[in-house]
Chains A and B, each alone.
Chain A
Amino acid sequence: MSCFQDFVKIWLFASIIWGSLGYYFYDFQKLGVLENLNPYIEKDKIDMSIYPTMGIEEATVDGKVYGLPWGYAPLYMLINLDTFEKYGVTPPSMDWTLDDFEKLVKAFPAKDGIYGFACGTKNLSGILPFIWAKNGAVLTDDKSQYVGDSKEAVAGVKLLSDLYQQGYFPKDCINATADTLRRWFSNGTLAMTIGSAQEILAVQKIQGVRFEAWTMPQSPTNKHTTVNKSNDICICSASKQKAAAWTFLKFLRGKEGESLYVAAKRFPPTLNIPENWDVYLNAGEYPKQIKEVSQAIVKDYSHNLPLRTGYAAIESKILPAFQASMLGTMTAEQAMTSVKADITKIIQQNSK
């Protein structure tokens, strides 16, 4: 069976496991798919200070580093400046609160099919900022217990559900894909939407859209509500060419590889190399304040996702309950309480 496992691992992952491991990082680490990089890092005396601290923290388990951060970037609140201007609404400041968010959403003429925001329900990343902004959480800090049924977390879910039921979000956002949200945002139907660097790239391709990438709304006592997420590039533990894989990984995630990637303008710079921003940015192109906002997010507004083994299963329980709350078939409290037993079981199963 180990030969078959090796075959599957190598067939699935080759020598290097590319990024977007995000959600499954801890699952793969627990399954022994990922190679511990500490010996390589120590041997080659890699300067770890060039990597974002939170990115390295996310890739570290029990003191062992299993990946190097790639595409470490926030999930921004994208703001369509044209839509704001057209309806005479002032865009928010970086320290805006949930009350500001609610007022802004209601300022747009939803009855005419122009909406302030649309809450996607394809993943938790679109909902968590609003839970955090109510000082709630879905999992405890050590990610060992479900606390999504707390008063604070329920309040975050209730806010979104109430806005949906009152008609301030488009009805179809409950099923909307990222493409659909992007389309609405680009054609002015939607004034704000949550977007990653990929959404920024896609919107930039559409001529004439003036937009900014912004922080998420916060609570008066908690500014850390903007998801800042890293993907990781790792080495497959079953690889027969680990030395070669490490040489390539070192290049990819070193200064040279990062500079090449930034020059391709796919993602904002990941490494702590300030001059890369000048390479990434196109003068005059929107979002014009992305550098200042990204640096401010990393410093003052960022929040890691509560990733752990079984995260995908946990998410699959919460999202339908959240949808039921949006539709009004359950209250927010019922929805977030109804999944507690299942999520507790998932955590127990994945903690063995």
Chain B
Amino acid sequence: MREEYRAAFLFLLPNIIGFLIFSLIPTIASFVISFMDWSLLTSPTFAGLSNYKEMIHDSVFWVSMKNTAIYSFIKVPLNLILSLLLAILLNKKLHGRNFFRSIAFLPSVCSSVSVALIWSPLMESSENGLINHVLVKMGFNIIPFLTSQKFAMASVILVGLWKELGYFMVIFLAGLQGISHSYYEAAAIDGASPATTFFHITFPLISPTTFFALTTSLIGSFQIFDLTSVLTNGGPANATNSLVMYIYQNGFKFFRMGYASSLSLILFLFIFVITYIQNHFANKWVVN
């Protein structure tokens, strides 16, 4: 028995070391640094709660927090709904099903930076941009995708959706294929409509998958940085400035590690609370 425990521990050790070095220790260090005034190149000085007090009056913090929340709470539900619909469609017996699954999954294997670089010229606010070129030919007006405070965040959400749809489609596909056909056969015999079948059989039985997708998608969305950085650099006029972007700017452009750490701690707490609430209410809708 002791041998087994030792073997188990040894197998887990790399992961534990990785978790300690790259997750737990940096998190604790960040917590401590958040109470400091530190430029990285000089000795840190204790600053008490001054970083947190500054945050309360920092308009850019609130704007970036709002932008991050908007991005997450709009993109995540849309992402889950669309990827589920896509998964249901691609779970049916279709000609070329595997081909379509591959096409749908391809964007998720591209890096976010290359995705943003591809979409940036497509979304140019003139007829030089492919999307506007087509819109103008169809008789519509040019849409200032990335150059308007009104449209910029929606455009970033669109690109984010395009990138991640395929990934969550695969997740849902795995969930759908785990549902026994006998349920659907029984529902068909009882004369259930497709909508009834979906809401009373499919959705409950993939609720664990949905819960996983919802949790991971939300955590990832709150950390949006690469798309906004390349597409809009947080503009125009801070319309797409995310909290992680602001953390990066404070830490590595303004040399304010203490303030950046306090911002990242707030982000951590926010994600923690959201995830806790999700877990707390999971037993009300997730079928085990």
Contact = CB atoms under 8 A, between A and B. Distances in A.
Q: Do A and B come from one complex?
A: yes
B10 to A, nearest CB: 32
B255 A27 contact: yes
A326 B149 CA distance: 11
Nearest to B234: A320
B114 interface: no
A265 interface: no
A327 interface: yes
A84 B147 CA distance: 27
Nearest to A352: B37
Interface string A270-310: 00000000000000000000000000000000000000001
Interface stretch (B19-27, B102-110, B122-130, B276-284): B122-130
A329 interface: yes
A323 B146 CA distance: 12
Contacts of A326: 236
A313 interface: yes
B235 A174 contact: yes
Interface string B134-152: 0000000000101111000
B235 A316 contact: no
Interface in B244-275: 249, 253-255
Given A172-B126, A327-B149, A31 B255 contact: yes
A31 B231 CA distance: 33
Interface string A1-37: 1100100110000000000000000011001110000
Most interface-central of A9, A174, A189, A312 (chain B CB within 10 A): A174
Interface in B209-256: 231-238, 241, 249, 253-255
B30 to A, nearest CB: 16
B43 interface: yes
Interface residues of A, number: 32
Contacts of A178: none
B124 to A, nearest CB: 5
B207 interface: no
Tell me the interface secondary structure of chain B in the complex. Answer: loop
B126 A312 contact: no
Interface in A322-352: 323-324, 326-327, 329, 342
Tell me the interface secondary structure of chain A in the complex. Answer: helix
Nearest to A237: B41
A327 B125 CA distance: 13
A154 interface: no
A175 interface: yes
B235 A170 contact: no
A321 interface: yes
B126 A171 contact: yes
A109 interface: no
A150 B253 CA distance: 27
Contacts of B249: 316
Contact of A172 (B44, B125, B233): B125
Nearest to A9: B41
Contacts of A121: 235-236
B42 interface: yes
A307 B59 CA distance: 24
Interface of B: 39-44, 59, 124-128, 144, 146-149, 231-238, 241, 249, 253-255
Given A1-B43, A320-B235, A327-B149, 14 more contacts: A5-B41, A31-B39, A171-B126, A172-B125, A174-B235, A310-B254, A312-B254, A316-B249, A316-B253, A320-B238, A323-B236, A324-B149, A327-B148, A329-B149
